[in-house]
């Protein structure tokens, strides 16, 4: 179904930009947020009033609420909210500063909570809507050297899963999108890394090898746009969807191992 109104965070580049473009190209309307709105100028020039540029750092709670309200005021409805803005804070847990830990949760978890809370009153009144939370395969299993990033996506998964049951009676859907590794700026200029502690030198080498082995070569992000459109157009969208088919056996293996350990320890349980 065409003619949807979207609110997408982090449209300056990467997935957010691709998905905003795909929605606009098929005739949908998009409220697009970016920390630097000059990154949105070309989209605004090309799509005019169908595209509303909004300046937003998602860690700014007041800004989150006012941008969602501005999008509703401009378009008169809100069909799809995509909590996409985020980044990967790498590093072993002991290496991370308080600021790095808090900043990661502010962007990847709290930002999504505030945007979701801001959108719900409009969607409840409409009795329709779809909240898309951009999680990660790192919201399903953990990777050494990415523990904090995993924690932020596990937190996103936890609140979104519970939320889905709460808002189903109002006709509002929640989908957690769980991508594997894609060639956006995510693992490049966007990734943050603390100073490494010498004690973990070997651990870092092993984690890097494990990460490369598990995640494989970065995927081309382009096909994710068509996949996302399929999800938002589904009459009964999934609660979770993985983007990257080679991740499915890895995730199944992770859960099978978890169940096997519970079985092994059932006497103690």
Q: For residues 87-106, which are near ligand NAP according to CB under 6 A?
A: 87
In the bound state with ligand NAP, the residue whose beta carbon lies nearer, of 15 and 75, is 15
SS3 269: coil
Which of 4, 29, 136, 149 is catalytic? The answer is 149
Is 230 annotated in the active site?
A: no
Residue number closest to ligand NAP, CB atom: 14
In the bound state with ligand NAP, the residue whose beta carbon lies nearer, of 10 and 129, is 10
Which of 135, 136, 152, 160 is catalytic? The answer is 135
In the bound state with ligand NAP, the residue whose beta carbon lies nearer, of 15 and 72, is 15
Which tokens is 227 given? 């996949």
Q: Any contact of residue 35 with ligand NAP (CB under 6 A)? A: yes
In the bound state with ligand NAP, the residue whose beta carbon lies nearer, of 69 and 187, is 187
Q: Any contact of residue 107 with ligand NAP (CB under 6 A)? A: yes
7-15, 90-98, 140-148, 260-268 -> range binding ligand NAP (CB under 6 A): 7-15
Query: Measuring CA to CA, how many Å separate 255 from each of 41, 193, 248?
Result: 44, 28, 11
Q: What are the percentages of helix, strand and coil residues in the chain, rounded to 5?
A: 55, 15, 30
Query: How does strand 240-243 pair with strand 80-83?
Result: unpaired
Is 149 annotated in the active site?
A: yes
Distance CA(119)–CA(6), nearest Å, equals 11
The conformation of residue 182, written as its DSSP 8-state character, comes to B
Q: Shortest approach of ligand NAP to residue 242 CB, angstroms?
A: 10
H-type helices in the chain, by residue range? 14-25, 41-47, 61-75, 98-105, 111-126, 147-167, 201-215, 224-233, 247-264
In the bound state with ligand NAP, the residue whose beta carbon lies nearer, of 54 and 78, is 54
In this structure, is the dihedral angle defined by the CA atoms of residues 46, 13, 80 and 117, taken in order, positive or negative? negative
112 with 153: CB under 8 angstroms?
no
Q: Any contact of residue 222 with ligand NAP (CB under 6 A)? A: no
Q: Shortest approach of ligand NAP to residue 195 CB, angstroms?
A: 21
Structural element, H or E, at residue 29: strand 29-34
Q: Any contact of residue 147 with ligand NAP (CB under 6 A)? A: no
Distance CA(79)–CA(5), nearest Å, equals 5
Q: For residues 115-144, which are near ligand NAP according to CB under 6 A?
A: 134, 136
Which residues does the annotation mark as catalytic?
135, 149, 153
Would you tell me which residues interact with ligand NAP (CB under 6 A)? 9-10, 12-16, 35-36, 57-59, 84-87, 107, 134, 136, 179, 181-182, 184-186, 190
């Amino acid at each position: 179904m065409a003619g949807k109104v979207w609110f997408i965070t982090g449209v300056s580049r990467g997935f957010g930009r691709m998905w905003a473009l795909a929605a606009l190209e098929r005739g949908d309307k998009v409220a697009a947020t970016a920390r630097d709105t000059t990154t949105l100028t070309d989209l605004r020039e090309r799509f005019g009033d169908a595209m509303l540029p909004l300046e937003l750092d998602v860690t700014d709670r007041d800004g989150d609420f006012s941008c969602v309200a501005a999008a509703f005021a401009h378009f008169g409805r809100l069909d799809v909210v995509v909590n996409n803005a985020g980044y990967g804070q790498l590093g072993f847990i002991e290496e991370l500063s308080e600021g790095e830990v808090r900043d990661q949760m502010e962007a990847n978890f709290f930002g999504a909570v505030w945007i979701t809370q801001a959108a719900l009153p409009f969607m409840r009144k409409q009795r329709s809507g779809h909240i898309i939370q951009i999680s990660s395969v790192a919201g399903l299993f953990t990777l050494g050297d990415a523990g904090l990033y995993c924690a932020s996506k596990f937190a996103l998964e936890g609140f979104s899963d519970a939320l889905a049951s709460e808002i189903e009676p109002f006709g509002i859907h929640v989908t957690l999108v769980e991508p594997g590794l894609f060639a956006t700026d995510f693992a490049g200029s966007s990734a943050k890394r603390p100073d490494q502690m010498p004690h973990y030198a070997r651990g870092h080498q092993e984690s890097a090898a494990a990460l490369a082995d598990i995640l494989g070569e970065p995927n081309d992000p382009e096909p994710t746009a068509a996949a996302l459109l399929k999800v938002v157009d589904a009459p009964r969208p999934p609660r979770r969807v993985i983007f990257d088919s080679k991740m499915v056996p890895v995730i199944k293996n992770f859960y099978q191992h978890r169940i096997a350990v519970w079985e092994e320890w059932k006497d103690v349980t």
